[in-house]
Structure 1
Amino acid sequence: MVLSGLLVTRVLDHTSPLSAEDGIDRLLAAHRTGWADDLSSELSTIGNTVGAATAALVAILLARWICGRWREPLYFAFAAVLEVAVFLVTTLVVHRPRPGVPELDHSPPTSSFPSGHTAAALALYGAAALLIFRRTRRRLPWLLLLVPAAIGVARLYRGMHHPSDVVAGALLGALCVAAAWHSVLRRPVLSEVPEP
């Protein structure tokens, strides 16, 4: 993630399509309306630190209650903690400024790259969608991915991120889900390993 951030901000920043991405921020800022301001504020709240931590805690407790074991709650916790750790390290190294449009939120001290709201939302809702899908084989849980998508658009609308920040946040969240799945749920625990 750090390498991709340095690539976006120091190597490819003056090449297409990255050189034109701020046009999206300007377009959204020019067409702001009261109802969209309110909706984007609510969506941003879902993806902020308190909102994401609360949702992660609920997911952990529900997973423990529904599944009756600790592997699924650990899966959610692993995805969330990994996302936060990678996000913080990346923002400390990359230092990308926010887009040059009026911001509707107070800027946190972290850099614009990647979108932490999008990454946290995808790590949580993506983890839930994958777990539910794997247990039920129904496609309906994938609709949960609309939540991080809406949060990413809200962050663009509010002038807090460049489009590539949101894409990077989505990638970070997805990679954290994959890492949690393979590290926690795909590995057999000692009681599940067959004896030779």
Structure 2
Amino acid sequence: MGRFHRDDARAFVSRAIAPGVGVWLAILGIGALLTGPFRGLARDEEAVNRVLADERNPTWNTITMLWSHIGNTEYVIGVCVLVTAVLLWRTRDWRWSVVPAIAISLQATIFVIATAIIGRPRPTVEHLDPAPPTSSYPSGHVGASTALYLVLALMAGRIARPWLRWLTTVLCLLLPLLVTYARLYRGMHHVTDVAVGMLNGIGCALLAYGWWRHRSRAASAEQLPAPVVPVVQPRGAGEQA
């Protein structure tokens, strides 16, 4: 299972927190452009929202409601806690087990601060979901589901059975796409909102997984036995060559 080491915290700061600040600054910069010089882009984007709104019907309203729920905070946290508990039980490796929690925590922190600062209005179509207190940019549903399920797809590479590994990977990659479409269909976000939300999730998933890979290699190196160096005894003065 391993134990917490001071280097784990240092690596977390240097390989997750510090680059996470960079992701946050990039998202703020894009948001400032979308609500400033490129404000008119929102009108063009809403054409997509209006087309989707015009094609709504009861069947797809129900289907997209279920897809949208995949990105809800309570669902994401619930799946993360369940997966973390199962991984810890099966592997006894705490570093491996907390990777999903790191991914969604980074994403949520970046999202909450960015959406509070940017404050972009939601599309001017009927909203089929209750609008949370956060603004439209970036999409928290898309970001959270991408961070969680992308990191699970990366972790699925360690599943021994090929059919289960591929099934898990495909399913985990599909779910964020369903959430993305649902949030657009239900009038909750502009196209750029979900695009940047997905980029946020991708970045946080890669940072969390990269932290584990770095600490895993370091922990393995620490456990390797010291190399045995043969000692050559000098020949005595009386020994013959």
Report the TM-score, using the length of structure 1 for normalisation. 0.90
Q: Distance in 2 between matches of 1:179 and 1:90?
A: 18
Amino acid aligned to 2:36? R
Structure 2 residue 28 is matched with structure 1 residue 2: yes
Structure 2 residue 217 is matched with structure 1 residue 193: no
Amino acid aligned to 2:215? R
Amino acid aligned to 2:204? C
Q: 1:172 to 1:23 in 2, by over 3 A?
A: same
- Structural mapping, 1:120-159, within 5 Å: 120-133=144-157, 139-140=166-167, 141-159=169-187
Distance apart, 1:191 and its partner CA: 4.0
CA RMSD of aligned residues (A): 2.0
Distance apart, 1:166 and its partner CA: 0.6
- 3-state SS, counterpart of residue 123 of structure 1: helix
Q: Distance in 2 between matches of 1:159 and 1:71?
A: 39
Q: Distance in 2 between matches of 1:7 and 1:184?
A: 34
Distance apart, 1:129 and its partner CA: 0.3
Distance apart, 1:190 and its partner CA: 6.0
- 3-state SS, counterpart of residue 193 of structure 1: helix
State how many pairs are aligned.
Answer: 194
- Structural mapping, 1:28-43, within 5 Å: 28-43=52-67
Amino acid aligned to 1:177? A
Q: Distance in 1 between matches of 2:218 and 2:83?
A: 25
Amino acid aligned to 1:181? Y
Q: Name stretches of at least 5 consecutive residues in structure 2 with no aligned partner.
A: 1-26, 228-241
| Equivalent of residue 192 in structure 2, options 164, 175, 196 | 164
Is the Cα contact below 8 Å between 1:91 and 1:114 reproduced in 2? yes
- What is the CA deviation profile of residues 62-91 of structure 1, one whole-angstrom value per residue up to 9, with x for unaligned ones? 222333311122111110110110000111
Deviates more, 1:103-112 or 1:66-75: 66-75
Is the Cα contact below 8 Å between 1:71 and 1:185 reproduced in 2? no
Q: Distance in 2 between matches of 1:66 and 1:108?
A: 37
Report the TM-score, using the length of structure 2 for normalisation. 0.74
Distance apart, 1:188 and its partner CA: 3.8
Distance apart, 1:55 and its partner CA: 1.2
Q: Distance in 1 between matches of 2:219 and 2:107?
A: 29
Amino acid aligned to 1:193? A
- The aligned residue for residue 127 of structure 2 is 103
Q: Distance in 1 between matches of 2:181 and 2:89?
A: 33
Q: 1:67 to 1:107 in 2, by over 3 A?
A: same
Structure 2 residue 108 is matched with structure 1 residue 84: yes
Distance apart, 1:134 and its partner CA: 5.1
Distance apart, 1:189 and its partner CA: 6.8
Structure 2 residue 54 is matched with structure 1 residue 51: no
Q: Name stretches of at least 5 consecutive residues in structure 1 with no aligned partner.
A: none
Structure 2 residue 25 is matched with structure 1 residue 12: no
- The aligned residue for residue 27 of structure 1 is 51
Moved over 6 A (4+): none
Is the Cα contact below 8 Å between 1:133 and 1:142 reproduced in 2? no
Deviates more, 1:82-91 or 1:133-142: 133-142
Q: Distance in 2 between matches of 1:20 and 1:67?
A: 50
Deviates more, 1:67-76 or 1:106-115: 67-76
Choose 1 or 2 for highest CA Rg: 2
Structure 2 residue 91 is matched with structure 1 residue 63: no
